[in-house]
Structure 1
Amino acid sequence: MIKKLVLLIFVAVFSTKISAQNNQIRKKTKATRARKAPKIDGILEDDAWKNAEIMTDFVVLRPDNGKLVSAEYQTVVKVIYNDDAIYISGQMNDPDPEGIPKEFAVRDNFSIADFLLVTINPNDDGQNPFEFLVQVTGNQADAKVSNGNEDFNWSAVWESAVSTDDKGWNVEMKIPYGALRFANRPIQSWGFNFHRRLEKLNAQHTWTHIDNSIGRWTQYDGLIEGFKDIEPPTRLNFYPYASATTTSFEGKTDSNWSVGMDIKYGLTDNFTLDATLIPDFSQVGFDDIELNLGPFEQQFTEQRQFFTEGTELFTIGNLFYSRRIGSAPIDQFNVYDSLTSDEEITDYPNRVTMLNAVKISGRTKGGLGIGFFNAITEKTNATIKNNTTGETREEVINPFTNYNILVLDQQFNQNSTISLINTNVTRDGRFRDANVTALDWHLETKDSKYNADGSVRMSNISDDLNNPNTGYTFDNSLGYNSGRLSWEIGYNFENKDFNPNDFGILFSNNQQTIYSSIGWRTLQPTKTLNYSNFNFYQQFNYQHYSGVYTGYNAGFNYNAQTKSRFSYGANLNYGTQEKDFFEPRQGSTSGVYFLQPENKNVNFYISTNSQNKFELNVNGHFTNYNNNPKLGYGFSFAPRYRFTNQLSLRYNLNFNKTNNDQGFVNQNDTNIIFGMRDRKDYTNTISGSYSFSTNSSLSLSFRHYWSSVKYNDYFNLNNNGGLDLNNTYTGNNVNFNSWNLDLNYIWQFAPGSQLIAFYRNSIFNSDRNSNLNFYDNLNNLFDQSQSHTFSVRFVYFIDYNNIKKYFKTHQL
């Protein structure tokens, strides 16, 4: 029966190329070639626009999906082209132009302001368009889309301008062909759609109707036909940079400077090479460091632009955790174990230097995406001094290392994909190497109602200690998503040896889960609500190695927004008593576990209308543990005030408290020591920006994280997962602080070119003063040494085509 069901799914998926467009008449129009390019000034009076085809009759995407837009808010768009670029004009009617919200923002950031967004899909595959967005303020944003997911880290160089008149507002865009990827064919037809956001109406309109009951929004493009005799240009861009950084700490000042270059080169019509030569990451944001008492590492977001831009192929399968590159040394053989009694470590680098990195990515007309990434990090040594002889020696704590990933991603039917991924980490010498291979799939039936999601993966680790290790995982689910209803049921496992963590990140293995969920949503607004949705999930959890049942989790979620844009929601969660094989730190196959108590949890949130000058977001949570003294609760309070369209500030206070928390502390020869502790965490953050213009802004990011842990009692973990009182062990309380303040000035003085001035003040402290109140803790923190960093970075964009044109027009 199962085999027949799988066969039916594959036949349905592969038999016919369809899209959600086929359920309606697809809008089409003809492309118009311009003899003379329009001036990009936002004023739509150029002769080039007079004979262009008109695209109008926009339809509401939300809240009233499918309703024709009234004449007073209609939009008129035109598209023309020449040998160099696509040109787009938009006339957005509005009966009250003075009332259009116009909050400023910097590039690739959204604000309370209307916008016009165009999606362009030269392959017309319903899955991978480019996005170009202009707000009424003139601010730009752009993104690459893959399977409905927008990547705003991707950036192109293009032009736009806006104007406002008594009818509404207008926009002009010039998108050079170098910003797109398309084949060299004499006549071409491209998928297009246009999205208009109206903030004061809380509405979004589109040229072609996007049915929100089925399929992805990318499947509903219209078609512009007849682009003739356009040729992909040489896509070669240079981003040379120069930077200087000064850091002061404990009376010592270090200064560094660097020059380097990023390069983008179009290898073919659809494939691009990105390379960073002598990379410089001196101005990345700070990490949100927390006190980690759990068995798993803390995961940090990537903030280095080279690793965030154009990585949609590499993130398939979740095997690419780019923070592994240039992170802490692996120190596989623990350099501290090599010390003699009269030796000490005088220098232990906490980061590995990346030498260079390249990535090649693109997608063929047939839907095959190919991505290759490679990075190299240098050998890193610790310095050891013999205090008797005065001699020094060096030990390798991280060898010369090569990281690479290869992805093949075949898309088809505008809704399905199958991917093959391989990651490899090769380290010089006796250090371990690692390889992971995965096959991932997302298959949908031709009507996009039913789907199958899954993967199978294998990891292989080998090292000089002759400990080869091969692990594997499997996951598959069947689901339904159409109209108001959605559901999913599936099974997954990771065996005890699966380990992708040399290049990826996985917190736990040796687990298997049977899971399911069911959801319901509104498709049209009601008398009181813009939208609402419900979801129920449940999980039956087992250990994979032994098959032991470990616990059950279930939860119910509800979210809604009123007509006045007041959003609210809540979720209720339940977990049975759970056999936790990770908290004791003995390895998941040891048979040692800790019985986590049965728990009931409730969370809620409210969010006021973001269009108002004052916005407030509040959430809270409470967790009760049955037959256990443990109790958890907390809240978050986040007001935001927009003083003007150019200045806004947001404050966020997050507080969490857990009384009588129980967790691993230490291990001696005979016992695994657990502690019962009271823990409180405060996080204060302030963020704000002042925009001098859409190309110039000053931003503030501040975060103070404080965690205090006080131990009440200590216990020995017994064979049944319970705790027996230990009256002899004595441990230490913890008082942990992380303080960071960043000021960042950005000036985009030319398209693609920036000057960035950056200042950071940081303080870190960890001691045993867990009895301090908030203000005494601040005084204690400010007694610590502070680090001051100031950096200036200059980046200039050079387009090879502009250089070629210059020399061609200036020939003697």
Structure 2
Amino acid sequence: MFKKNLLLLIVCFSIYQFTAQTKKERKTIKALRIEKAPKIDGVLDDEAWNNAEIATNFVVFRPENGEAVKDEYQTTVKVVYDDNAIYISAQMNDPDPANIPKEFAVRDNFTIADFFLVTINPNDDGQNPFEFIVQSTGNQADANISNGREDFNWSAVWDSSAKIDEKGWNVEMEIPYRALRFANRKVQEWGFNFHRRLELLNEQHTWTFVDNSVGRWTQYDGLVTELRNIKPPTRLNLYPYASAVTNTFEGTTDFDWNVGMDIKYGLTENFTLDATLVPDFSQVGFDDVVLNLGPFEQQFTEQRQFFTEGTELFNIANLFYSRRIGGPPIDQFDVSSTLNANEEIIDYPNKTTMINAIKVSGRTKNGLGIGFFNAITQKAEATIKDNQTGQTRKEVIDPFTNYNILVLDQQFNQNSTISLINTNVTRDGRFRDANVTAMDWHIETKDSRYNADGSVRMSTISDDPNNPNTGWTFDNSFGYNSGNWFWEVGYNFENKDFNPNDLGILFTNDQQTIYGNLGWRTVKATKNFNRIWFNSYHNINFQHFSGTYTGYFTGIGGNAQTKERFSFGGFLNYGSEEKDFFEPRQGTTSGQFFLQPERLNVNGFISTNSQKKLALNVNGYYTGYTNNPKVGYGYSFSPRYRFNNQFSLRYRLRFNKTNDDQGYVDETANNIIFGFRDRKNYTNTIAGKYSFNTNSSLSLSFRHFWEAVSYISFNNLNAEGGLDPNTTYQGDNVNFNSWNLDLNYIWQFAPGSQLIAFYRNSIFNSNTNSNLNFFENIENLFDQSQRHTISVRFVYFIDYNRLKNIF
């Protein structure tokens, strides 16, 4: 009854909020139709700009929110258009043009450089603009924005140029209509805002005032009017590619090649189909693999472009973990347990192969977002050999599988949304199917001060079609976010059967939490600080199945940045004694838990001015435990040196040490074995880049992770969650290494077209030599076989409209 009443309250609240927002007084300019397009060279002498209306009188967005911009740093912008594109020019005053920062970067990355940014919202809904950025070097960036969050994985093909002159610097932009989504109306008014970043002053200016004390920055757009008789073009972009890969390991070299195509097609004015045919992920970066001794899988970031670009709708409610597609086989029936006495597995694939994938997404002019995603993977088979007869057989460990997602997301009031999401995994044959459905909401009052945030989700796992396993979860919070203060209080639970992990990722279920936080921040710079931020949080936790109280967690901390751009901060965290139902690996309903000791943690960081040639980030932590010998500490040290505007290098050393750590090791017929162990790990990373120009760059990524685990004693977990000595169990120490080095050259030889040359060196090693020192471990590591991968990939961008005009 409680859940039904709460849901009714949320729906009523949303209906009350679903009213037309009264239009604020807005800055407005008229766009000018032109006959001859300007030359995009950064020189503002084209006839096209002569009669265009000027957008100026910029104001400070950060740090002095709302202050007027001084004349010597004022910006003027003009907007014109024709049948093919919208054109934008910006003239940015600077009294010292020679010192405008201009460190080079690859596309969609930011460095020590000024930039000019424009947001364009054809639906003028205050929530979903497109963002186009030009840096003082001429480097481009672009993003698709949803509810204030920028997705820089989204990419469009457009033209721009930047030029520094005696007055400051200029930008010209040509944004083709195929890069936007808009309705086919005779006269249009689009939401616009212009931003300018001044790196030396540490300021950001905007055309229309953005009040950073309330609401989202996308709600403060100005208006560009009089866009007449423009029509959405046929949005069909083709990205054919060809790739070749060589892989050398233990004296054997394999060669492979591939051809395929990615397609973007505008189904309607507002909806786009993305498809990848014969996908190729040979140049995906390495994963940051660690030694995982915990009860949960390690989560990896997605690096395949198809799964990172334009997926904001599919990520609603956090039900989509794209690494499931093409990930390790599920082996639901454990093929190794079915082997005959004379059989062994001689080939076991470590991933599945994706055949193809499509996604359709867009948003109507009334704010309804619709998304559909579908991917297919082919079956994976283990090869089993009979050592007596020599015969081999195949056993399916992951069947032919279809993954799909459907999303309906209704936005309203320029700040609120209610969504319905369904994910489905259908497997061929006797393997299980899975379905998850969720309703997700974020509702704000019209003034954006108060909000309700939450979701209801249901999962169904069909191991047995006649007896599906259904689970539930619920979460809702109420909060305030305006001016200096923000707070939130809420409640959530996941019952014991909730499981979204066939296409999503969830580490813990069968728990419930009452949570809250309270914070304070500056909304304007003070005399000595650019910003100050404080926050405290509180969590009270219970097991959902039994209602057992499991523990309490709280913390307080904050961070600040001085006028000299020196940043620092820290947190003090407390955790009570905790009943951990996950570490024993027995299932949460078994009643078996491990009693984690009471603990106190302190951590902090400092970060120097990133504008300097040498910048440094340092952080550290210490964790102590009550009535327990366990203690943990660590630090991270990361200097970055910028040799010049083209070349920079960053190194990071991270060290963690835990003495008398206690955790699960094994399970015998009679006991759950835990171990006391000393753990230490080092992570060394190097990232470097050299930019020949804005279209050509060389980058280096290196990572070596080493962890050594030495067991002191072994123990039996008892019914009270404590540990009893075990003098008979024999276990091994662990020495784990993961080494990866990537060298990447990228040349964008034409808009949207690239040639990428890639080299990877990788080594993996795991043994019991945990007593080695650092240099002995390195020597031991290089005794292992190294894998060398060389790849070349060619991608060419084809715009259907230009192709049509040629023919």
Q: TM-score, structure 2 length as denominator?
A: 0.99
Does the 8 Å contact 1:115/1:198 carry over to 2?
yes
SS of the residue aligned with 1:770? coil
CA-CA distance at 1:12 after TM superposition: 4.5
**Change in 2 beyond 3 A, CA 1:204/1:501:** same
Q: Structure 2 matches for 1:285-434, cutoff 5 A?
A: 285-434=285-434
Distance 1:644 1:522 in 2: 35
Tell me if the contact between 1:115 and 1:133 (Cα under 8 Å) persists in the aligned partners: yes
> What do residues 390-424 of structure 1 show as CA deviations (whole Å, max 9, x unaligned)?
11110000100000000000000000000000000
Aligned-residue offset at 1:149: 0.4
The answer for the alignment partner of 2:238 in structure 1 is 238
Q: Partners of 1:372 and 1:513 in 2: how far apart?
A: 33
Residues 551-700 of structure 1 mapped to structure 2, 5 A cutoff: 551-700=551-700
Query: 1:79 matched to which residue of 2?
Result: 79
**Deviation, structure 1 residue 54:** 0.3
Match of 1:99 in 2: 99
Q: Deviations over 1:215-234 (max 9, x none)?
A: 00000000011100000000
Q: Tell me, in whole angstroms, the C-alpha distance in 2 between the residues paired with 1:466 and 1:731.
A: 43
- Please give the alpha-carbon distance, in whole angstroms, between the structure 1 residues aligned to 2:359 and 2:222: 32
Q: Partner residue of 1:224? A: 224
1:17 aligned to 21, 40, 48, which one? 21
By how many angstroms is 1:14 displaced? Answer: 2.2
What SS is found at the alignment partner of 2:431?
coil
Matches within 5 A, 1:680-759: 680-759=680-759
Residues 417-441 of structure 1 show CA distances to partners (whole Å, capped at 9, x for unaligned) of: 0000000000000000000000000
Cα deviation code 1:306-350 (max 9, x no counterpart): 000000000001000000000001111111011011001111111
Partners of 1:701 and 1:230 in 2: CA distance: 45
1:87 touches 1:175 (CA, 8 Å); kept in 2? yes
Query: What is the alpha-carbon distance in structure 1 between the residues aligned to residue 697 and residue 129 of structure 2?
Result: 30
Instruction: Give the match for residue 56 of structure 2.
Output: 56
The letter for the 1-side match of 2:73 is Y
Unaligned residue ranges in structure 1 (runs of 5+): 808-812
* 8 Å CA contact 1:9, 1:445 repeated in 2: no
Output the CA distance in 2 between the equivalents of 1:782 and 1:87. Answer: 56
Secondary structure of residue in 2 paired with 1:209? coil
User: What amino acid sits opposite 2:80 in the alignment?
Assistant: I
Cα distance, 1:7 vs. partner? 7.6
User: Equivalents in 2 of 1:792, 1:396: separation in Å?
Assistant: 33
Can you list the C-alpha shifts for 1:86-117, whole angstroms capped at 9, x where unaligned?
Answer: 00000010000011111000111111100000
Per-residue displacement from partner, 1:602-624 (whole Å, max 9, x unpaired)?
A: 01000000010000000000000
Q: Distance in 2 between matches of 1:315 and 1:540?
A: 28
- Tell me if structure 1 keeps the 8 A contact 2:19–2:413: no
- Shift in CA distance, 287/6, structure 1 to aligned 2, threshold 3 Å: closer
SS of residue paired to 2:589 = coil
Which letter maps to 2:291?
L
Q: Secondary structure at the match of 1:732?
A: coil
Q: Does 1:456 align with 2:456?
A: yes
What is the alpha-carbon distance in structure 2 between the residues aligned to residue 155 and residue 359 of structure 1?
16
Name the amino acid aligned to 2:21.
Answer: K
| Secondary structure in structure 2 of the residue aligned to 1:804 | helix
For residue 159 of structure 2, what is the aligned residue in structure 1? 159
Q: Which residue of the partner structure matches residue 504 of structure 1?
A: 504
Q: 1:193 offset after TM fit, Å?
A: 0.2
Q: Deviations over 1:557-579 (max 9, x none)?
A: 21100000000000010000000
Q: Distance in 2 between matches of 1:165 and 1:290?
A: 50
CA deviations 1:647-680 (Å, max 9, x no partner) are: 0000000000000000000011111100000000
Distance in 2 between the 1:7 and 1:734 partners? 54
Q: Report what 1:544 is aligned to.
A: 544
Deviations 1:595-645 (A, max 9, x none): 000000001000000010000000000000011000000000000000000
Deviation string, structure 1 residues 437-495 (Cα, Å, up to 9, x no partner): 00000000111100000100000000258652100100000000010011100000000
In the alignment, the residues of structure 2 paired with residue 10 and residue 469 of structure 1 have an alpha-carbon distance, to the nearest angstrom, of: 32
CA distance in 1, matches of 2:155, 2:213: 31
Determine if the alignment matches structure 1 residue 787 to structure 2 residue 787: yes
Q: Deviations over 1:687-730 (max 9, x none)?
A: 01000000000000000000000000111101100111111111
CA distance in 1, matches of 2:439, 2:529: 42
The equivalent of 2:256 in structure 1 is 256
1:130-145 → structure 2 map (5 Å cutoff): 130-145=130-145
Give the 3-state SS of the residue equivalent to 2:410 in structure 1.
strand
Q: Do the aligned partners of 2:631 and 2:660 also contact (CA within 8 Å) in 1?
A: yes
What SS does the aligned partner of 2:713 have?
strand
**CA–CA distance in structure 2, aligned partners of residues 358 and 681 of structure 1:** 41
Percent identity, aligned pairs only, is 73
Residue 13 of structure 1: CA displacement? 1.6
**Aligned in 2, Cα 1:489/1:305: closer, same or farther, shift over 3 Å?**
same
Q: Determine the C-alpha separation between the residues in 1 that align with 2:66 and 2:78.
A: 22
Given that 1:239 and 1:798 are in contact with CA atoms closer than 8 Å, whether structure 2 keeps it comes out as yes
Deviates more, 1:5-14 or 1:398-407: 5-14
Structure 1 residue identity aligned to 2:681: D
CA distance in 1, matches of 2:400, 2:12: 50
Residues 678 and 709 of structure 2 are in contact (CA less than 8 Å); yes or no, is this contact kept in structure 1? Answer: yes
> For residues 744-783 of structure 1, what are the alpha-carbon distances to aligned partners after superposition, in whole Å with 9 as ceiling and x for unaligned?
0000000000000000000000000000000000000000
Q: 1 CA distance for matches of 2:284 and 2:324?
A: 16
Q: Which runs of no fewer than 5 residues in structure 2 stay unpaired?
A: none
Q: Report the AA paired with residue 342 of structure 1.
A: N
| 2:476 corresponding residue in structure 1 | 476
Whether contact under 8 Å (1:744, 1:756) holds in the other structure is yes
Amino acid at match of 1:184: N
Q: CA deviation at 1:15?
A: 3.8
**Shift, 1:527, TM fit:** 1.1
Q: Structure 1: which 4+ aligned runs deviate by more than 3 Å?
A: 1-12, 464-467
Alpha-carbon distance in 2 for matches of 1:123, 1:688: 41
Q: Distance in 2 between matches of 1:236 and 1:522?
A: 46
Distance 1:198 1:538 in 2: 39
- Give 3-state SS (helix, strand or coil) of 1:123's partner: coil
Kindly indicate whether the alpha-carbon contact (under 8 Å) linking 1:12 and 1:446 is maintained by their aligned counterparts in 2: no
CA distance in 1, matches of 2:42, 2:452: 47
Aligned to 2:186: 186
Q: Secondary structure at the match of 1:589?
A: helix
Does residue 1:28 correspond to 2:28, yes or no?
yes
Between the aligned partners of 1:85 and 1:646, the Cα distance in structure 2 is 32
Counterpart contact for 2:191–2:221, Cα < 8 Å = yes
Q: How many residues align?
A: 803
User: 1-side partners of 2:579 and 2:162: how far apart?
Assistant: 61
Q: Give the 3-state SS of the residue equivalent to 1:328 in structure 2.
A: coil
Q: Residue 513 of structure 2 aligns to a residue in which SS?
A: strand
- The equivalent of 1:520 in structure 2 is 520
Give 1:10 shift.
3.6
* AA aligned opposite 1:207: W
- State the alpha-carbon separation in 2 of the partners of residues 319 and 399 from structure 1: 22
The CA distance in 2 between the partners of 1:387 and 1:289, in whole Å, is 35
Q: Which residue of 2 aligns with 1:810?
A: none
How many angstroms apart in 2 are the aligned matches of 1:97 and 1:283? 40
Distance 1:84 1:10 in 2: 40
- Whether 2:150 is the aligned partner of 1:146: answer no
State which drifts further: 504-513 or 27-36: 27-36
Note the C-alpha offset of 1:29.
1.0
CA RMSD in angstroms, aligned pairs only: 1.1
Contact residue 456 and residue 473 of structure 1 kept, 8 A: yes
1:123 aligned residue: 123
